[in-house]
Each structure stands twice: as structure tokens, then as C-alpha cells.
Amino acid sequence: MKVQEGSGLGRNYKDLWEHIEALDQAGLLYRIDKPVNKDTEMHPLVRWQFRGGIPEAERKAFLFTNITDSKGRTYDMPVLIGGLAANPEIYRIGMGAASLDDIGPLWERALRQPVETTMVSDAPCQEIVMTGAEVQGPGKGLDALPIPISTPGYDTGPYFTAATWITKDIDSHVQNMGVYRGNLKAPDRLAVMMQISSSAGGYHHWKGYQARGEKMPVCIILGCPPVVEYTGPQKVKLGVDELTVAGGLAGGPINIVKARTVDLYVPAEAQVVVEGYIDPEYLEPEGPFGESHGYVAVEEYNFTMDVTAVTRRRKPVISSIISQVTPSESSVIKRVAYEPMFLSHLRDTLGIRGVTKVSLHEPLTNLRRFVSVTVDRNTPKTEIWRALTGISAYQPAVGKYCIAINDDIDPNNADALLWAMCYRANPVKDIQIVDYRGRGHGPILKESEDESTMLIDATLKYDLPPVALPKKEFMERAKELWEELDLPPLTPEPPWHGYSLGDWNDKWDAMAQRATDGDYLINGERTAQLKRKLEDPQVQIRDVMGNDIVGDE
């Protein structure tokens, strides 16, 4: 690991306590001083702001300061939930970005220009060090931490959800940092699920230690500085230390310190660090646990870790993430970062013309399965299909269903997406199914070893008549009238006014204008001149008269 010596003064990033203060100043923090049971009440309480119809912008972070458990114990450490990404604005503050539009460029810079870490000798995360008997027995070690139960009624114990796990390659010694679920088993033991994936560094590292029969050193970071925490879920290519990417994100080096009992380096401003070793041979049953894909992951064998030390600040705060059924905090963390990265991949890496937006569908589907690509109206068909295949191949877990749409379709509105599919796509021509896709993260479809990918071109292929809603100016005036009448507040849902899709002409526009001016009788005089003898009705006028429709305007 390359590091540079330094004092660590003048860091370019906030630690978690400083981030909490920034949220408080922005009006995005609830301080809960009432006693709350971490085993039965804490996560369900915060869950309501994701399942209770509260608009995304109104979701906030919760800081619990008076924590109990089902045994009647109390804890002197507060717990933060929703403090990383209850909504995109909280994420923006944690990133130190001036606006949401700056987040994509910040990630592009971080991945392109990582910054080497700085070694410090005096680290806040090691103000208190506990080893040996200090981490063994009830009420000690992991059992002393106020770790909530995420899905009461299904989870089999408290889980680390916002923890970043640091491991290193047995040969290159390059560290990796990932976010994995950690099931507390004993004061000095826990189980962890490090997903089998082509991009999961922790799993690949373990395979190296397994081959040599050596225990794998590991550190669990609780309460990272936000820029470090946000880097953990990113899909950084293997062989790149995520702490250097976090430095690129911050625009300056991340301070690190060597762990006390294992040969790893950890963020100096962490709140709590759990050190130990993962067994290279024996696996332990872990779960059930409510997973980020929205279903309960049933009990399975996963890695087992023995704790050798717990180090922490004198006054730490524990961070926990709302995950499981989306929208959730974990899905916001991914969506805000992934969407601009995917767009950059299509436009800058693949050079696809006409792509303006990539949207990962969040509610219930958890971002990975349904992806929308917005393209300009005049984008060639070849580019549309390049975009669909490019997005489906970018990450193994993302893009089971990929749909191309135009900018009049709201990708975050499932009804609008179905509308586009119904009227702008011909299944026999505009849908392709590609076999041999990995199962990804979620319940297993047992009838086949692999899944598949569906690509849908739901863009406009030719002109269509206008959307059948009043023109914008009439809807805007009606909205003013609505508000004058003191009717319930409106939340406009696109499309909320009519607009042309190309199949419209000046003559019809003039007729509509006469109607709103009260002169519809003139239109009747016009059509009276155009009567024809025909065998059947419902014949378009242009099929009889041609596109140059006669009549006085």
C-alpha cells in the first residue's frame, strides 16, 4: 500500500460528527431523545418515512440518543439512521458537492484521479483500544455496541448494515473496501456475506487465503467519514484501493492509521473499528436477513470472523442504514452515484450519440433490474440499440430489463413507461431477449441456471397525434383557479398538459383555437363543405383529401 506521511491536519472532508452537525444546520436531522428499543422499534420507526407516503425531499436523518434493547439494557452511544442518504440532499451534503449536478463529475474525477492516503500516528478511532478479555463475554465487544435489528420479525440478530469491510490481496497487499452485511453471533464473533461476484474484492481475497490455508485479516469500519462510506458500495475495479478513490472524491488524501492487531490500514477518523480474522476453511450459518433486493435472504453458510480488537473514539456515533424494500437509504446511495456514471459510460466511453439520461428504477425493483435510457427524438435506431446493449453489459447485476424512451416519458413513473411500451413499441420488432445473464442479487429463479435480458425500444418511431390533455396554458390557468378556490394542494404528475408528437398541423391548430375562442360554428361550416359518400366511417380525412386538407383558415 502506497501512503505518504503527514500530520493529517487540514483534511478535505468531514468526519461523521461534522456531517451530523451540517445536517442539523440544514434542517435535515431529527434528534430522538425518547427511549427507543433498538431491537424492535428503531428501524421500523425510520422505515415509515420510506413507506408512509412522505415525499423524498422531506425525508430526514434520525439521531437516536436514548437507546435501549429488549433486555432492558441502555447504551451510551447514539445511533444515526438515514444520515448518509435518506434523500439526495443528505447525500450531497455528505459529498461536499455544491449541487446534485456536481455529484457525477465528482465521481468521474475520483475514479480517474485517485489520491494516495496519508499515514498518521495519532488517530481518533484508537482513543480507546479493547483486546483479549475486554472483547469477550456478555456486554463486551460487539455486545456492547447498540447495533439495531433491521427487520424485526425476520432477522435473527443485530446486523452491521453501514459497515465498510477492509481486506487485502494476499499477494499484492492492495486493500479493498466493500459494504457487506455482518450478523452478530457473539461478543467476539460474527458472520459476513461477501457476495460471490466478479467485482467483489472481499470474496476474491478470501479465495487467496483459502488456497494457502491462512486466516484472512479484516477490519470493520463503523461510522466512516461520509466520502469514505459512499465509496464502499461503488463498483471499483479490482486492484484499486477504494480509500484512494475516496481521496479523489474528497480532493485530498484520506488519513489512515495501522490497525492494532491485524496488518491493515483504516480511516483515522472512523468512529469504531472492529479487527479480526476470517476463517479460511469453516463457514457458519448466517441469516435470515432482510436484504437490499427487497426479500428476506434465508439462512445460508457464509464467512465467520473472530474478533481480536475493538477500537473507538471516546464519544463515538454508530451509523446504520435503512435497506431492504426500496426506496431506502441504501438505494439512494447507489442511485445518486450510479446514474451519472452509467450516463458517462454510454456517452463518453462508448461514444453513443443522442443519450441524455440513464435512470435506475428504484421503488421495489432496487435499481438493478429495470433501467431506462432516455434518447433524443432523432437518435438513429443503431445508436438506440447500442445504448440498450451497452447499458445491459456495463455491470453484471444491472440491466435485466432495459428500455429506451424519449424525453417526454418520465422514467420514474412506471405508468408512463407502460404507456410508452403500449403505444411506441411493437414486440415483434422492438423487443430482444438475450440469454445467459447472471442471476444477480436476489431470490433465485429455480427453473434455470441463468437469467436473461430484455431490451425494449419504446421510443417514437414516427409522428403520433398530440397527447390528449388540455394545452399547457389552459392547465396553468386552471391550476391558478384551483389554488384561488383553496382546493387541496396539487402535485402535478407528467404528463399534466397536452403536447404535439408530430402528427398535427396548422389547420387543426387553428380549428382548436376557434373552439376555445367560442367560434366552433365556423369549424362546422368548414366540415360541411367536406362531406363525401363513403362505404364505412372512421376513415381519416387525409386518406380521402390528402395531407393538404382544404378549407378556409
Please report, for the domain that includes residue 381, its CATH number.
Answer: 3.40.1670.10
| DSSP E strand stretches across 392-544 | 401-405, 431-437, 451-457
Q: How far apart are the first and last CA of the chain?
A: 78
The C-alpha cell of 6 is what?
503527514
Q: Is residue 463 part of a domain?
A: no
Q: Is residue 337 part of a domain?
A: no
494: number of Cβ within 10 Å: 12
**Closest Cα partner for 93 from 28, 185, 176?**
28
Q: Is residue 176 domain-shared with residue 303, that is, in the same domain?
A: yes
**pLDDT score of 45:** 94
**pLDDT score of 197:** 65
d(CA 191, CA 26): 37
**Closest Cα partner for 164 from 153, 178, 150?**
178
Q: Is residue 55 domain-shared with residue 138, that is, in the same domain?
A: yes
d(CA 480, CA 475): 9
Per-residue pLDDT tens for 292-301?
788 888 999 9
Helix, strand or coil for residue 204? helix
Q: Is residue 433 domain-shared with residue 540, that is, in the same domain?
A: no
d(CA 232, CA 339): 17
| DSSP E strand stretches across 370-427 | 370-375, 401-405
**Closest Cα partner for 302 from 285, 279, 281?**
285
Q: Is residue 450 domain-shared with residue 479, that is, in the same domain?
A: no
Enumerate residue ranges in the chain where pLDDT < 50: 3, 5-8, 550-553
**pLDDT score of 328:** 85
Residues contacting residue 11 through CB under 8 Å, at least 6 positions apart: 250, 252, 253, 254, 255, 269
Task: Write down the residue that cell numbers 434493547 correspond to.
Answer: 69
Q: Is residue 464 part of a domain?
A: no
CA atoms within 13 Å, Cβ hemisphere of 490:
16
**pLDDT score of 130:** 97
Residues contacting residue 388 through CB under 8 Å, at least 6 positions apart: 373, 402, 404, 432, 455, 456, 457
Q: Is residue 339 part of a domain?
A: no
**Closest Cα partner for 32 from 83, 66, 2, 72?**
66
**pLDDT score of 297:** 87
Strands 255-258 and 216-222 turn out to be unpaired
**pLDDT score of 551:** 41
Residues contacting residue 194 through CB under 8 Å, at least 6 positions apart: 165, 178, 180, 200, 202, 203, 206, 302, 303
- For the CA atoms of 18, 19, 24, 27, the dihedral, rounded to the nearest 10 degrees, stands at 150
Per-residue pLDDT tens for 322-340?
888 878 888 888 888 889 8
Q: Is residue 244 domain-shared with residue 373, that is, in the same domain?
A: no
**pLDDT score of 460:** 95
Q: Is residue 155 domain-shared with residue 259, that is, in the same domain?
A: yes
**Closest Cα partner for 144 from 186, 84, 202?**
186
Q: Is residue 19 domain-shared with residue 164, that is, in the same domain?
A: yes
- Which domain covers residue 204, as residue numbers? 3-320
Greatest Cα pair distance, the chain, in angstroms, is 100
Domain total in the chain: 3
DSSP assignment of 242-279 equals HHHHHHHHHTSPPEEEE-SSSS-EEETT-SEEEEEEEE
d(CA 160, CA 319): 9
Contact of 188 with 302, CB cutoff 8 Å: no
**pLDDT score of 202:** 87
Q: Is residue 343 part of a domain?
A: no
Per-residue pLDDT tens for 267-283?
999 999 999 999 999 99
Task: Write down the residue that cell numbers 389552459 correspond to.
Answer: 474
Please report, for the domain that includes residue 103, its CATH number.
Answer: 2.30.110.10
156-176 core/surface letters (b: 16 or more CB in 10 A; e: else): bbbbbbbbbbbbbbbeeebbb
Helix, strand or coil for residue 149? coil
Q: Is residue 220 part of a domain?
A: yes
Contact of 123 with 257, CB cutoff 8 Å: yes
**pLDDT score of 137:** 95
* Residue that is last in its domain, among 302, 320, 338: 320
How distant is the alpha carbon of residue 475 from its chain centre?
A: 34
Q: Is residue 290 domain-shared with residue 201, that is, in the same domain?
A: yes
* Residue that is last in its domain, among 280, 305, 320: 320
Q: Is residue 341 part of a domain?
A: no
Residues contacting residue 162 through CB under 8 Å, at least 6 positions apart: 84, 179, 222, 223, 229, 319, 320, 321
Contact of 459 with 408, CB cutoff 8 Å: no
Q: Is residue 453 domain-shared with residue 480, that is, in the same domain?
A: no
Q: Is residue 510 part of a domain?
A: yes
**Model's pTM, two decimal places?**
0.86
H helix runs in 147-265, sequence order:
201-212, 226-231, 242-250
**pLDDT score of 552:** 44
**pLDDT score of 234:** 80
| DSSP E strand stretches across 327-405 | 355-360, 370-375, 401-405
Q: Is residue 399 domain-shared with residue 524, that is, in the same domain?
A: no
**Closest Cα partner for 336 from 30, 86, 160?**
86
**Closest Cα partner for 59 from 362, 351, 381?**
362
* Residue that is last in its domain, among 267, 300, 320: 320
Q: Is residue 495 domain-shared with residue 452, that is, in the same domain?
A: no
Contact of 501 with 460, CB cutoff 8 Å: yes
Q: Is residue 498 domain-shared with residue 403, that is, in the same domain?
A: no
